[in-house]
Structure 1
């Protein structure tokens, strides 16, 4: 028993000596040549990081200069400067250009804004204004894409066409206007008003004051009927015509200013308003 224990101790001691013998060359390699290059690379990387951080700090100076470009009719440079002032605490490199652009586009009459950095501590802002293409109701303005961009305008150009409809129907009314305007212009008639009432009935008003009643059903077909058949009557006797009613299965009727007359026979109107 005692002999077995001694043999086991000698065996364990021999294994430990053998492990130390294997580690000694590795330790000597790191000490003599392997560790120094690794430390050198680490020092170089740290140095580059410090230099990069120093450059960022040096270049990321607070925004100091603002250049504003674009053709202005409604937007003032002061409005732009007031928005940019909220970002002056940011640095040249760290300023959030996307957030600045979004803030600029909240200014009334601003359609699009483009923002870029200008060396060494400025930003350059380019503003594109909305182009008013139509009035919405009594005080709103719509752009050339049929979007309501201003609900309460101080100045309303009266020469603009007027679009009227329930709240939330702006895009629907603008779509009919954009589709009808060039068609009517093609037969020499200017569209001055498009109305959609609460029941869903449509009425157009021409530049000469003649009203075109389209109703609620088959609006595109009725508009085509007006252009193809009724418009020559209106063009020839515009001063005498009050309205043209196309709410019929076929044909139309004309309301005359005085005396009241009917332009042509037609079927009974549908009860669609």
Structure 2
């Protein structure tokens, strides 16, 4: 009886050793497969505005994942590398057996274009500043002084027509955005849109409207400035043959207005990137016109 039991244990042990050998062999083959067959399929969501496939491949190579198999491909390294792309808001990376990497990205959405004259970027509706790949190229050219602000196309990504522009240093971004939200509805209710907000180092605030009129604002009370402008817009009569160049609202009571001859406005090519100057032909359909009596002289500087 004991002899029979020992015989059974011997054969059972032999079968276990055989099974273990097969398992080790197969495991070695699987490991060899993953070691010699790199992750070569990448699935990326296609609702992206700025990210190109070249950006993903660059991130994979930079994260030390080039030609890595399933077990050695480091998703954390890839996520950390993708986080360096300032236009990316959210990242999710996972591996799928045997050779696929799933990458899900969410990009920041531009609310306005921002520039300080030295670099160009976008700001989100929350005031987050970020830079697209094309903007980074432009900024590199600006840094190397291969281009100038006067010749610069701010909307290099062609993201949308008429996207607003903020000209300021970074310090003013959130403050300008807060004012933007406070005043844009009042302007839009009067069929006026903000084209640019400009803030210089002396805390001088200006708004360029989409119809070409420049508003010089009271930096102490921006909202009161806009209210005075809207009130004046209902009452002002523009002299025949003239257009409104700018409206100065830096007064406790009242406003002052600079008019420009219509012919001069048609022939003037003034860059909207230069703070203090108008941006387009200064037509204003919301202001009525009547003949001016006597000689008109512009005494405003």
3-state SS in 2 of match to 1:126: strand
1:75 Cα deviation after fit: 2.1
1:194 Cα deviation after fit: 0.6
Mapped partners of 2:186, 2:166: distance in 1: 17
1:110 Cα deviation after fit: 3.3
User: Aligned in 2, Cα 1:93/1:178: closer, same or farther, shift over 3 Å?
Assistant: farther
Structure 2 partner of 1:218: 221
Structure 2 partner of 1:156: 154
Alignment coverage as a number of residue pairs: 209
Matched, 1:78 2:54: yes
- State the structure with more CA Rg: 1
Mapped partners of 1:126, 1:173: distance in 2: 32
Structure 1 partner of 2:107: 129
Matched, 1:141 2:139: no
3-state SS in 1 of match to 2:42: strand
Structure 2 partner of 1:16: none
1:68 Cα deviation after fit: 1.9
> Is there any run of 5+ residues in structure 1 with no aligned partner, and where?
1-46, 263-273
Structure 1 partner of 2:253: 250
Mapped partners of 1:60, 1:237: distance in 2: 80
C-alpha contact (below 8 Å) 2:183/2:223 kept by paired residues: no
> Is there any run of 5+ residues in structure 2 with no aligned partner, and where?
1-19, 139-152, 156-160, 262-295
Cα displacement string for residues 34-76 of structure 1 (whole angstroms, at most 9, x for unaligned residues): xxxxxxxxxxxxx9xx99xx79x95994661322222244321
Q: TM-score, normalised by structure 1?
A: 0.61
3-state SS in 2 of match to 1:100: helix
Mapped partners of 1:233, 1:243: distance in 2: 16
Q: RMSD across aligned C-alpha pairs, in angstroms?
A: 3.7
**Structure with bigger RCO (C-alpha 8 Å, 6+ apart):** 2
3-state SS in 1 of match to 2:81: helix
C-alpha contact (below 8 Å) 1:190/1:207 kept by paired residues: yes
1:192 Cα deviation after fit: 0.9
1:170 Cα deviation after fit: 2.6
Structure 1 partner of 2:144: none
3-state SS in 2 of match to 1:168: helix
Mapped partners of 1:172, 1:251: distance in 2: 25
Please give the residue correspondences for 1:86-235 in structure 2 after superposition, counting only pairs within 5 Å.
86-88=64-66, 92=70, 96-107=74-85, 109-137=87-115, 138=117, 139-145=119-125, 146-150=127-131, 152=136, 154=138, 156-157=154-155, 159-227=162-230, 229-233=231-235
3-state SS in 2 of match to 1:240: strand
3-state SS in 2 of match to 1:257: strand
1:208 Cα deviation after fit: 1.5
C-alpha contact (below 8 Å) 1:70/1:127 kept by paired residues: no
User: Aligned in 2, Cα 1:77/1:233: closer, same or farther, shift over 3 Å?
Assistant: farther
Q: TM-score, normalised by structure 2?
A: 0.56
Structure (1 or 2) with the greater helix fraction = 1
